[in-house]
Structure 1
């Protein structure tokens, strides 16, 4: 006879596993997942435990994807009407569904899920889990250009993570807050936050490299392309960054900084790696960005530029459209093509107007 493990004991072990995931404790999380899998294989049918397991497994896969680029393609497989699901599990379902939409760049859909999760947040009795909710809700609002809403959530997350001594997560909040200051035309404040965070984040190579990348983006926004180049190259020196989706993004950023300095040959090398990375990670934004660079800096083909902008429009990425259109307008003007320059300035202006509108459908 096979010895079965009681569902409540498996549930407790899943809670322990979940705590390791929230705290980004990679190795203990991997070990606990194996232990839970062994125990759950002998458990009698229990819909509630299986629903909980499925949700936590998805969050585990998100954590693992940071360390193993070959495990970056994952999906959430759970029906919303899971039987006997209690309020905590219902919260977790909406939250994890929102995370799934976020990592697949469906930001408007993600914010809907987070809204539903927030209505059930009172059933969460774990500060770290609450802080993670604030972090992701801040992130998705940041991507939707709702900067004041994003900063409110991000500051709440930062306070809790700091109190819990979750340094890596605290720094992640600071990176986003710095980005918000940059988008609100206060890059000096953003840079100060990043430089302060850099001093204490060296033990955490993942966030340390993200700070370097953020500093590069800060300098690039000021058109200080030589300083941006230095920061991007420093970030790519770290394997923990280079061999991830963020590394592919940084290669794109570096190629763009190099093209803008006239370092065409070196820029082309990094661009090719960025293009491969964007395809590998199925990243819609950076696939479009690579097409844009190909049209603007490599082939002098503005049809590719237009196609890139159209791809971003389909994803609702208005800020990104404005950013690229402004660059296309600048390059066109420098080349003496005032007609094209005016066209892209109008596109940038319209995108800036749209980026501050969420729409009623996002508050369902």
Structure 2
């Protein structure tokens, strides 16, 4: 392969990466086909192969051609090549995609470590790719219950794409996370407004729209409006045929939880059974819902919660460092025991995260 040919390939892969960052997906698909046609009969140098693999992974994720799986991407296979290269864009791509895989597997601490390395090379990518980076980083901090830091990154992302006509999906996703942060902080109306904005921005994106409706339902649930929450979870499930997706599984769990809260125990139990079966058959990690399912079953479907099962659920959340979810679940446990006038247990769970979070490394 001549240097001229290598440079042509690198230029085309760079253009492909740019089209993905600007969410011009039809152009990205055309470039991918052109590149694939050029690559088919030849053996690639390591640097070009690494570039291609990373941009191709980004392409498949953005176009929803694949879903992230824990065994899909062996980042360790590329570590040596990337360490030896001086190409900062390649280093950025490697660490950013590594972080994306880690966050999908709920390994948020290691995801942040990869994002911090990627951030050192951020000046070498376009502003639209920077917006994607800030969004993903904000999401990870949100999952780690670091909401002030999360908002900082989310606002940076929005600033870079606010005038772009091609980034409605990204702007919708930013609004979804912001709605969650506002809801958790007690801002009911403001959270609803953010979710409704996300719905409007995702008119042509069924998966994102389903997530936006679910975010609105989560707020209804959080403020104790379980009937309304159940209606919205059903609406999310019926949007864009999301029944078989991870979003669908999450919405079904939330629906089961709402029904259990409302006292519709038969409906809630049937739906919870379905969700637990689906989670077992998934390659992707859904640890939060595994843990919540165990605890929900103990609280609402048994005469007395089994402390061993409750601790099993809490241990899953602690292992994954899902700090907000841990606080949310222990608050529900505390309220349950308070209602039953079991004040020692109510206080124990109320105070639980005060001594667990420092051990888990809650302050990043």
Query: Do they superpose with TM above 0.5?
Result: yes
1:153-186 CA distance string (max 9 Å, x none): 1112112222222111111111111212122222
Shift of 1:18: 2.6
Contact 1:288 1:308 in 2 (8 A): yes
Task: Indicate the residue corresponding to 1:252 in structure 2.
Answer: 253
Greater displacement, 41-50 / 2-11:
2-11
Contact 2:106 2:285 in 1 (8 A): no
Task: Indicate the residue corresponding to 1:307 in structure 2.
Answer: 312
Contact 1:144 1:358 in 2 (8 A): no
Greater displacement, 331-340 / 67-76:
67-76
Q: Tell me, in whole angstroms, the C-alpha distance in 1 between the residues paired with 2:191 and 2:111.
A: 26
Task: Indicate the residue corresponding to 2:119 in structure 1.
Answer: 118
Q: Tell me, in whole angstroms, the C-alpha distance in 2 between the residues paired with 1:32 and 1:345.
A: 55
Greater displacement, 350-359 / 92-101:
350-359
Matched residue SS, 2:274:
helix
Contact 1:145 1:356 in 2 (8 A): no
Q: Tell me, in whole angstroms, the C-alpha distance in 2 between the residues paired with 1:69 and 1:273.
A: 21
- In the alignment, does 2:320 pair up with 1:296? no
**Within-5 A mapping of 1:160-171:** 160-165=160-165, 166-171=167-172
- In the alignment, does 2:284 pair up with 1:285? no
Task: Indicate the residue corresponding to 1:53 in structure 2.
Answer: 52
Q: Which 5+ residue runs of structure 2 have no aligned equivalent?
A: none
Shift of 1:354: 7.0
Shift of 1:72: 8.0
1:277-300 CA distance string (max 9 Å, x none): 333133222211212222222234
Contact 1:121 1:130 in 2 (8 A): yes
Q: Tell me, in whole angstroms, the C-alpha distance in 2 between the residues paired with 1:31 and 1:345.
A: 55
Contact 1:91 1:121 in 2 (8 A): yes
Matched residue SS, 2:79:
coil
1:11-30 CA distance string (max 9 Å, x none): 23323433444355666655
Seen in structure 2, the aligned counterparts of structure 1 residues 93 and 342 have a Cα distance that, compared at 3 Å, is: same
**Within-5 A mapping of 1:5-24:** 6-24=5-23
Task: Indicate the residue corresponding to 1:330 in structure 2.
Answer: 335
Q: Tell me, in whole angstroms, the C-alpha distance in 2 between the residues paired with 1:70 and 1:276.
A: 20
Shift of 1:344: 1.7
Task: Indicate the residue corresponding to 1:235 in structure 2.
Answer: 236
Task: Indicate the residue corresponding to 1:362 in structure 2.
Answer: none
**Within-5 A mapping of 1:139-158:** 139-158=139-158
Q: Which 5+ residue runs of structure 1 have no aligned equivalent?
A: 360-364
Seen in structure 2, the aligned counterparts of structure 1 residues 36 and 3 have a Cα distance that, compared at 3 Å, is: same
Greater displacement, 75-84 / 17-26:
17-26
Contact 2:295 2:310 in 1 (8 A): yes
Q: Tell me, in whole angstroms, the C-alpha distance in 2 between the residues paired with 1:70 and 1:316.
A: 20
TM-score (norm 2): 0.88
Matched residue SS, 2:331:
helix
Contact 1:191 1:218 in 2 (8 A): yes
Task: Indicate the residue corresponding to 1:63 in structure 2.
Answer: 62
Q: Tell me, in whole angstroms, the C-alpha distance in 1 between the residues paired with 2:292 and 2:148.
A: 26
Task: Indicate the residue corresponding to 1:132 in structure 2.
Answer: 132
Task: Indicate the residue corresponding to 1:185 in structure 2.
Answer: 186
Seen in structure 2, the aligned counterparts of structure 1 residues 355 and 310 have a Cα distance that, compared at 3 Å, is: closer
Shift of 1:67: 5.5
- In the alignment, does 2:271 pair up with 1:270? yes
Q: Number of matched residues?
A: 356
Seen in structure 2, the aligned counterparts of structure 1 residues 27 and 184 have a Cα distance that, compared at 3 Å, is: same
Q: Tell me, in whole angstroms, the C-alpha distance in 2 between the residues paired with 1:254 and 1:232.
A: 6
The RMSD of aligned alpha carbons is: 2.7
Q: Tell me, in whole angstroms, the C-alpha distance in 2 between the residues paired with 1:29 and 1:352.
A: 43
Shift of 1:90: 1.0
Greater displacement, 5-14 / 177-186:
5-14
Shift of 1:128: 1.6
Q: Tell me, in whole angstroms, the C-alpha distance in 2 between the residues paired with 1:94 and 1:203.
A: 30
Task: Indicate the residue corresponding to 2:88 in structure 1.
Answer: 87
Contact 1:61 1:74 in 2 (8 A): no
Q: Tell me, in whole angstroms, the C-alpha distance in 2 between the residues paired with 1:37 and 1:313.
A: 44
TM-score (norm 1): 0.88
Seen in structure 2, the aligned counterparts of structure 1 residues 67 and 257 have a Cα distance that, compared at 3 Å, is: farther
1:45-102 CA distance string (max 9 Å, x none): 41211111121122234335x4656978522444223143411111111111111211
